[in-house]
Amino acid sequence: MSVKVSINGTTHSLSESSTVADAAALFGVTPAECGIAAAVDGRVVRRRDWASTTLTDGSTVEVVRATAGG
């Protein structure tokens, strides 16, 4: 069975056991990278919790990368 989640504004069908780490991986992001943050339904998820935070049907996930420049 699958769940539908919005990741950075785009709807994706993922397996029922998908986690924040799985969602981030769709964008080539790993928890080991610096300057990355993830939130589910408006709540920031600690990086160490990405692999254990399961997504549910209708979840909204935002994965952001900090950038610097001038």
Rounded to an integer, what distance in angstroms lies between the CA atom of residue 56 and that of residue 46?
A: 18
Q: What is the pLDDT of residues 1-49, one digit of tens each?
A: 899 999 999 999 999 999 999 999 998 988 888 899 999 999 999 999 9
d(CA 47, CA 31): 6
- The domains of the chain, with CATH numbers, are 2-65 (3.10.20.30)
Structure pTM?
0.89
- Full DSSP string of the chain: -EEEEEETTEEEEEETT-BHHHHHHTTT--TTSTTEEEEETTEE--GGGGGG-B--TT-EEEEEE-----
